[in-house]
């Protein structure tokens, strides 16, 4: 029973991971019209699904090395997931791209802190694996994308517009697909790792066993479903809110994201896909002469990134405490039910000011949800 609740929470987290991060790969393609919105999310969903199956040697256990593995119980995993899940949904409501891995790590750290004390959390590992990369990822991506965008405009300045539009449209679709595939491979693994961790903690499988096939299939499916549902609010912020994007910029941004993500994954630097992609889009804005980056939007994003770890940790800690106070499986089930109610309320609030595939590209007037009169189908 407890295990079932943990697995359901993990899959729910995986789902929000998908729909939060659709924007990373597809926001620029949607904003430039390289792909129609529904086609873009469908393509990204398929590639995420495929990506999830591709690299299975080690389902990276996200919390390993950051908290003492002896401190991890099913309730801690559950509370950590809830912390990550809450932060994902809250930032989605405000349309802010935010790292799902940081949210999950924050949740697990918070739950561990209150369950087992400060000694079970490895502070140095948090700095090295979470905080330093969080600062570096956007900086790297801004550098690469600014240079790439600058070069692209320099080189193709004299090219007739119809050539340019078609060529970069193709390039953009290709590079965005690469980002989607990499996302599926890296991010679905995190949830697989969490579920495997829970199965081991529950002695359902041995510590040396690999990830069961049903876990892989379930994770791939839920991240793909989430991607397909599409976090339109986040897509709108990244594609329209941060800067106005043209096709060559979109291509340079996705090329930069793909290169930095793949290089980071190869050299073992744990950069967040979200931070890289947001940085790339900013760089694409900076690299084109006179293009503006809306710094207020960028500032809100940076603030959210700073808050991710502590906010998810607080929620994770609260979830653990709540479950522990009531006690046993009933406690976990109660916390789960309360969380589900809160999430439902958030969805209801979001549906009052909806952002969908219809109005995602409406002109940015400073607010996330476009005014209904300005809505135009695309």
Partner 1 sequence: MSPYIDLDALWKVLVAGLVAGAGLVAVYALGLAVLAAARTGPSAHPGGIAIAVVCFGAVLAGAGLGLYVMLAK
54 binds partner 1 (CB under 8 A): yes
- Part of the chain binding partner 1 (CB under 8 A), chosen from 3-11, 171-179, 316-324, 339-347: 171-179
User: Looking only at residues 216 through 255 of this chain, which bind partner 1 when binding is defined by CB under 8 A?
Assistant: 248, 251-252, 255
Q: How far apart are CA 378 and CA 36, in angstroms?
A: 7
Binding flags for partner 1, 128-167, as an x/- string (CB under 8 A)? x---x---x---xx-xxx-xx--xx--xx-xxx--xx--x
291 binds partner 1 (CB under 8 A): no
> Site for partner 1 (CB under 8 A): which residue of 42, 225, 229, 262?
262
263 binds partner 1 (CB under 8 A): yes
Q: How far apart are CA 101 and CA 115, in angstroms?
A: 21
Buried b (16+ CB within 10 A) or exposed e, 290-318: ebebbeebbebbbebbebbbebbbbbbbb
Instruction: Tell me the closest approach of the beta carbon of residue 261 to partner 1, in angstroms.
Output: 9
92 binds partner 1 (CB under 8 A): no
258 binds partner 1 (CB under 8 A): yes
* Phi-psi map region of 33: left, alpha, beta (phi>0 left; psi -120 to 50 alpha): left
Please identify, using beta-carbon distances, which residue of 162 and 352 lies nearer to partner 1. Answer: 162
- Part of the chain binding partner 1 (CB under 8 A), chosen from 86-94, 96-104, 174-182, 349-357: 174-182
> Site for partner 1 (CB under 8 A): which residue of 4, 65, 117, 127?
127
Instruction: Tell me the closest approach of the beta carbon of residue 273 to partner 1, in angstroms.
Output: 12
Q: How far apart are CA 196 and CA 212, in angstroms?
A: 8
What the block records as the tokens of 173 is 């679709």
What the block records as the tokens of 60 is 């990276």
Q: Are 222 and 10 in contact (CB under 8 A)?
A: no
> Site for partner 1 (CB under 8 A): which residue of 40, 178, 312, 339?
178
Helix H or strand E segment including 112: helix 100-116
On the 0-12 / 13-18 / 19+ scale of CB atoms within 10 A, 17 is: buried
Please identify, using beta-carbon distances, which residue of 122 and 321 lies nearer to partner 1. Answer: 122
95 binds partner 1 (CB under 8 A): no
Question: With the C-alpha atoms ordered 177, 178, 182, 187, is the resulting torsion angle positive or negative?
Answer: negative
Dihedral pair phi/psi, residue 293, rounded to 5°: -105, 130
Residue spans of beta strands (DSSP E) within 128-277? none
3-state secondary structure of 96: coil
> Which residues of this chain interact with partner 1, rule CB under 8 A?
54-55, 57, 124, 127-128, 132, 136, 140-141, 143-145, 147-148, 151-152, 155-156, 158-160, 163-164, 167-168, 171, 174-175, 178, 181-182, 185, 248, 251-252, 255-260, 262-269, 271
């Amino acid at each position: 029973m407890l295990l079932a609740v943990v697995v359901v929470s993990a899959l729910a987290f995986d789902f929000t991971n998908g729909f939060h991060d659709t924007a990373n790969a597809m926001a620029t393609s949607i904003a430039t019209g390289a792909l129609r919105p529904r086609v873009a999310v469908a393509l990204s969903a398929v590639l995420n699904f495929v990506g999830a199956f591709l690299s299975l040697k080690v389902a990276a256990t996200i919390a390993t090395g950051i908290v003492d593995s002896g401190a991890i119980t099913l309730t801690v995993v559950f509370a950590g997931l809830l912390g990550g899940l809450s932060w994902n949904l809250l930032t989605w409501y405000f349309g802010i791209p935010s790292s799902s891995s940081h949210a999950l790590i924050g949740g697990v750290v918070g739950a561990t802190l209150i369950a087992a004390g400060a000694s079970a959390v490895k502070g140095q590992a948090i700095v090295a694996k979470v905080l330093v990369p969080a600062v570096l990822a956007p900086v790297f991506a801004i550098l690469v994308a600014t240079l790439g965008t600058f070069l692209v405009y320099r080189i193709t300045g004299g090219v007739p517009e119809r050539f340019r539009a078609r060529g970069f449209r193709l390039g953009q679709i290709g590079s965005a697909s690469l980002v989607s595939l990499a996302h599926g491979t890296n991010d679905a693994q995190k949830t697989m790792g969490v579920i495997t961790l829970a199965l081991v903690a529950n002695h359902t499988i041995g510590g040396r066993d690999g990830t069961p096939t049903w876990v892989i299939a379930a994770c791939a499916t839920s991240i793909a479903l989430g991607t397909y549902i599409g976090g339109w609010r986040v897509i709108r912020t990244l594609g329209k809110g941060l800067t106005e994007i043209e096709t060559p910029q979109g291509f340079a941004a996705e090329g930069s994201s793909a290169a930095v993500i793949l290089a980071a994954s190869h050299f073992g630097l744990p950069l967040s896909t979200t931070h890289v992609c947001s940085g790339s889009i900013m760089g694409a804005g900076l690299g084109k002469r006179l293009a503006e980056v809306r710094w207020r939007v960028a500032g809100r994003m940076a603030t959210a990134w700073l808050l991710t770890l502590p906010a998810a940790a607080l929620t994770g800690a609260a979830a653990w405490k709540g479950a522990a106070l009531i006690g046993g499986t009933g406690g976990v089930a109660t916390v789960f039910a309360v969380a589900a109610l809160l999430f439902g309320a958030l969805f209801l609030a979001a549906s009052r000011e909806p952002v969908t595939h219809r109005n995602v590209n409406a002109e940015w007037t400073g607010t996330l949800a476009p005014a209904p009169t300005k809505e135009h189908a695309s």
